[in-house]
Chain A
Amino acid sequence: MTSELKLRPPAQMMRLHRLGAMHQCRLSFMRVLLRRMAREAWRFERQAFEIDAAGVGYAVYTTHGPERAYSLVAFAHDLPDEQRSDRVIATAWDATFALFDGVPEENDIARLAENVPLQEAGRLTAQELSVSRANRSARLWEHVVERLSQGMQPDCARLQEVGYLMRTTAVYGSGKLGAADRELIADRSEMAAPFQAEMLSIYLTRWFVRDLVEHMARARNPQAARLDNGLAEHLGIGNSTGLGMAPFLINHPQLFNNWMAAREEAIARVRALQTATQEARSAFAAAYEGAKRTVALWHSQSPLQQVRLVQLRQDLQQIDMALPELMDRSSPWDRLMVWAEDKLSYEGQELLASLILEPYGPLVDDLEVRLADDSVDSFRIDGGMHISELQEALREVYGWAGDIDWDAPESVARVWYVSEEKLEPRLGERFEEPVAAYEQALAPARDAAWLAQALTQWPGETQVAAFLLRHPEHRHQVRRVQIAQRAPYAEIRDNTISAEMLPIDMLRAKLSFFGVTRFDPRSDRWVRVCMYAGAPYPTELAPANADHWVYPGPQA
């Protein structure tokens, strides 16, 4: 079957306009996590909730899996409104968190209390897997606390408008701040898929936030109401995503390839089906209706996103009209996708690409195991390759970069750099700011063009090792080319330093693999999103509700 599968080609998929239109799907990491935890009947309990009337203190939430336990240790702070900032350079937050490997004892909590609230200014140990921080949505928080304290429920429309009570502004793993390196946990089956520790941390954070808001309402009035379950489920945890995430995709080409390739294979498997059972059609219809509800709730202040949402809503109308006829034929999913490519915006196409997977868990969920990158030798350069072969690979992956005028200012207008201010990743203007000297290696297209130029001076039968000995400045790009030879979805096929490049396109691609919804760009390099909106809370997680929560059902 695999040999017949036609995956959408990298030349089509790895464009920023396409990556910037991606949607979550079955293979998204938070969905992978919840399916596993439901399947394996993970148990959840609140170990401690030591928070005072001012909202200051700590709480511990533990989950027990078949082999191990993990605990979210949450610290709540009393942050003055004027200090609230989502930037990397912030130094205080409404809440700070660590995901502890196991069940913490008193001395662990004491140690974490001294370090976690400081975030980058504190230190963690190999017993912590993830560290994060979150800020309130000030407007919504006050509204909910006030209503509950009056014995009433908050206004549903307001909840849906914002979507979250708190948003994380960074969620770190993999050794940051001294936390455990990924190698320490990569062998655990529950940690095999990417970012599972981070996704778990956020899932438990959502539970904490619900408890905290109810607690603050009770602090105002001991007779305060609890948040209605249905309303609580609407709420996700927001995330304020900035530039730090964009370099990740470029710096992890093998991993990014694995995500894209897994998704494209899933899509190809479904498209290869000759018929769709009634059951599959019903499942698709349910997901599609849910997606329409999500789109109806999806707002953005960004003029760019508003235009795209208008287009997406038009796409939905077109889908409504065309669907019955398309589904009534053989190979319906393939017909649907071919039609979509002709008629819909990228948002509509990628939404459908995700939706057609929904009825087919047993057919595609096995691709979860392909998401991680456990390769040890993808880093090594093959110095025995001949230059002629390298040139051919360059043409194949970066041929389009040869058409760009690299002398034109707009082609090299941007500079990715790191600020000494808390090592915040930033994007500067090459010809307007003195930042070019600090440029990070995040322009593969330009570097490919340079490499191609340099190679023209060398005979085709020379080995790459000899070339690199004389030109070590090209090692980085040669490695990228060789990775891309084996990993067709490794490279973004657009100029990442052009004047028109939108970092949010890269942010969106990675965020869609996390499983987030409601992309709300706040600028070309800053986006608000929502995570776990609609999901069951941990103590209610079960196989029946673990998967399709991302598509809201009809309102009661």
Chain B
Amino acid sequence: MKLSHGELESMAVRATRGAGYPWGLALEAGRAVRWLSCRGADGGAELAALLSRGLAGDLAAHSPGDMVTSRSLSGIEMCPLILGAYLADLGPEFCRIQQPLERVCCPLLIVPFVAQAVLALRANLCVSTKSGATAETDGAGLLISGTFGGLVGGAHVSFWLKPRQPVGGSCDPRAHVDDESWSKLSSWAAQTYAPATEESRRRGAGASPGGL
């Protein structure tokens, strides 16, 4: 499907909310999807894969933080939205987080969250999974090698900084998302719409049809 970036972002926000995330994280998810999509990555598919995991029901369990039990043993995935948001909040200090990050679901979604800090650090960030997929950003562009998508059960993620060099690519004027992912996102988004009832129609928007 070809869309405007605004349409994809808007759908991503509603889908994330519809899947049970708080509005603040939903807005951030929308931004992250847009950032990825602008740079040729299928942010919509990543988000659809994440929301399918149903992590919003217990965000605390899927958050980074003091972990007594190793995620490798517990098998509990880390949510990239709450992780990414946390890293973004830390600003340039984000690199100090304990690594590797274990069992991160859909780790490509983390990259947009730290892009701004990467710009400030004037370095390049590499994010890689144990299976060898790598995403590199200078804060503005994105270069992916290997496959990030479809990592069910989460991936062990490491990241490090390297000297700044431009990562090219200009923003595609259109957003792209595969039909299946769009359909899934639409279903979650629909959870945020109130049912169309006669009462809602009559009371909700004020004016009677027609006019002078």
Contacts and interface: CB of A to CB of B under 8 A. Distances in A.
Given A181-B5, A379-B31, A476-B24, A85 B210 contact: yes
Nearest to B201: A421
A257 interface: no
A178 B3 contact: yes
12 contacts: A82-B210, A137-B212, A167-B211, A179-B4, A384-B91, A417-B204, A421-B196, A437-B194, A438-B193, A464-B89, A472-B24, A525-B207
Nearest to B5: A181
A88 interface: yes
B91 A243 contact: no
B116 A380 contact: yes
A525 B206 contact: yes
Contacts of B192: 418, 438
Contact of B206 (A423, A472, A523): A523
A126 B173 contact: yes
A472 B22 contact: yes
Contact of B22 (A382, A383, A473): A473
Residue of B86, B116, B194 with highest tally of chain A CB at under 10 A:
B194
B82 A126 contact: no
Given A243-B205, A476-B22, A465 B89 contact: yes
Contact of A183 (B5, B93, B116, B190): B5
Nearest to A478: B24
Contacts of B82: 469, 472
Interface residues of B, number: 49
Contacts of B6: 174-176, 181-182
A549 interface: no
Interface in A362-383: 376-377, 379-383
A417 to B, nearest CB: 5
A380 B113 CA distance: 9
Contacts of A473: 22, 24
Contacts of B3: 178
A526 B204 contact: no
A150 B89 CA distance: 70
B206 A475 contact: no
A290 interface: no
A416 B84 CA distance: 29
Interface string A416-427: 011111011111
B7 interface: yes
A468 B85 contact: yes
B59 interface: yes
Nearest to A238: B211
A419 B201 contact: yes
Interface stretch (B43-51, B60-68, B151-159): B60-68
Contacts of B210: 82, 84-86
Contacts of B194: 417-420, 426, 428, 434-435, 437-438
Contacts of A469: 63-65, 82, 86
Contacts of B212: 137-139, 162
